[in-house]
Amino acid sequence: MATVHVENIKKTYDKGSVLALDNVSFDVKSGELFGLIGPDGAGKTSLFRILTTLLLPDGGHAQVAGLDVVNDLWKIRRIVGYMPGKFSLYQDLSIEENLQFFATVFNTTVEKNYHLIEDIYVQIEPFKKRLAGKLSGGMKQKLALCCALIHEPKVLFLDEPTTGVDPVSRKEFWDMLDRLKTRGITIVVSTPYMDEASRCDRIALIQKGKILELDTLTKIIGRHAQNLYAVNADNRYQLMHDLRKPAEIESSFAFGEEQHVTLRTPENGENYLIDYLTQTGHSDITVRKIDPTIEDVFIKLMLENQ
């Protein structure tokens, strides 16, 4: 049975004028690390708040560990851990006071479940007397995760835990999630960083309240094979402009040091691009046919859904 079951969930704001979630359905399996990947405004936070019983849906059903998010809210609150996107701990309590507070609220002790948080907590323990409001972003993030874990939840909901965090700390955070997963905790995590998709068992790509795709990363990428070329030349600025002009070019987007280009007519794409760029006066031209990244797929799906 699915640990999280979401069925046609709908949510609107401002008397129905803003559609935040548009009949969203998906299941998260027990023990899975499931990623909701999408930009700001996609509906990720609304979905998390519904699943953690903090917001009522306008329509549809959802269950967490077999419990209904509307009718069984008190039972759900006991078994889920929730780390909101906005830092929500008590700023005027210290690290250890916050942790004790959350343990007490859930009728447990820090000692009883210390094993769950140990490898995260040791990193902030030297500062345990410091007020939460005085912590740096990375330390706040670690404390929030400890507080969300201290009652040994069955399901952990993490809303954009890595937003605004540098690449090294992001990587460390995902390593922590990997270790939590080995303890059997089901984790649902949202992120706007597409590259974090590779850290999840399965992902849902979400945009404007709709799920665009849902599967393992490999399968999603496999489903969206396209004639994609990585293009480079000496004058990047000019290259970006010139790749926008011809009707044969369907899309051209910057990806790191290269432009990723798709063509309307798939035949001889490499030759076409080299010829075109040579004619327009570019030098040091390189064109490679490549497999899409998850970000290429997301862009493709966004364009299709426009």
Residues lying near another protein in the complex (CB under 8 A) are found at 38-42, 123, 136-139, 160, 163-171, 192-195, 207, 236-237, 240, 253-257, 295, 298-299, 302-303
CA 227 to chain CA mean position, Å: 27
**Of 124, 191, 183, which is closest to residue 149 (Cα–Cα)?**
183
Nearer to another protein, 63 or 207 (CB): 207
Nearer to another protein, 141 or 186 (CB): 141
The secondary element (H helix, E strand) that includes residue 206 is: strand 202-207
**Of 98, 107, 86, 297, which is closest to residue 204 (Cα–Cα)?**
297
Minimum Å gap between C-beta 45 and another protein is 11
Nearer to another protein, 65 or 233 (CB): 233
Q: How far is CA 302 from CA 24, 178, 295, in A?
A: 17, 30, 10
Q: How far is CA 161 from CA 84, 94, 148, 220, 290, in A?
A: 8, 21, 12, 24, 31
Minimum Å gap between C-beta 137 and another protein is 5
Minimum Å gap between C-beta 136 and another protein is 5
Nearer to another protein, 62 or 212 (CB): 212
Nearer to another protein, 285 or 302 (CB): 302
Minimum Å gap between C-beta 40 and another protein is 4
Minimum Å gap between C-beta 184 and another protein is 30
Nearer to another protein, 42 or 150 (CB): 42
Cα–Cα distance measured from residue 168 to residue 282, given in angstroms and rounded to the nearest whole number: 37
Minimum Å gap between C-beta 154 and another protein is 29
First to last CA, the chain: 35
**Of 43, 40, 41, 36, which is closest to residue 4 (Cα–Cα)?**
36
Nearer to another protein, 38 or 161 (CB): 38
Cα–Cα distance measured from residue 125 to residue 112, given in angstroms and rounded to the nearest whole number: 17
Minimum Å gap between C-beta 290 and another protein is 13
Q: Is the Cα torsion angle 200, 148, 131, 114 positive or negative in sign?
A: negative
Beta-strand relationship, 210-215 and 202-207: antiparallel
